[in-house]
Amino acid sequence: QVQLVESGGGSVQTGGSLRLSCVASGDTSRTYSMAWFRQAPGKEREAVAHICGDGNTAYAVSVLGRFTISKDKVRNTLTLEMFRLKPEDTAIYYCAARRATYCSLGSSLWAKEGYWGQGTQVTVSS
C-alpha cells in the first residue's frame, strides 16, 4: 500500500502561482502512475494531470499550458506547479497513485484502484 500526503495549497489572487507537493510513503518500490485531481464545491471530481509509470504526462484542457506535473523518484514526491491561476481553479486538490506503468487521465481505474491523499485547498480570488 501507499500513503499520500499533499501540501502547498493556499490562497492567491488571479494570475498568481502555487506549488503543490505530494509525498508518497509505504510500498514505493513498485511502479506507480500518479495524478492530481481536483473537486470544486458542488462539482464532480475531475482529473487535472497525470504522470504515468513510463513517464508520459497528460493534462486537462483547462490547465494545459499553465500547470506542470513532475515526479521526483528519489524523494517519492509528486509536484504540481500552477501558474496564471484563475478563480475557476479553486478546489480541493487530491493526489492519487495507482500501480500501473501506463495510464489514462480519464480512466475510472483511478477511483477503483487508486490510493488517495487527504487533499489540499487551493483558493483563487478575483
- Which of 62, 40, 74 is closest to 49 using CA atoms? 62
Residue 107: its pLDDT value, please?
85
Residue 110: its pLDDT value, please?
92
3-class DSSP state of 87: helix
Residue 95: its pLDDT value, please?
97
Residue 108: its pLDDT value, please?
87
Residue 52: its pLDDT value, please?
95
Q: What is the mean pLDDT of each run of 10 residues along the chain (126 residues)?
A: 95 98 91 96 96 95 98 94 98 96 89 94 97
Instruction: HSE, CB side, 13 Å, CA atoms: give it for residue 42.
Output: 1
Q: Quick check: 78 and 36 in contact, CB under 8 A?
A: yes
CA separation for the pair 73, 89 (Å, rounded):
27
Here the cell at position 49 is 494531470
Neighbour-count burial for 22-55, b at 16+ CB within 10 Å, e otherwise = bbbeeeeeeebbbbbbbeeeeeebebbbbbbbee
Q: Quick check: 16 and 81 in contact, CB under 8 A?
A: no
CA separation for the pair 66, 72 (Å, rounded):
20
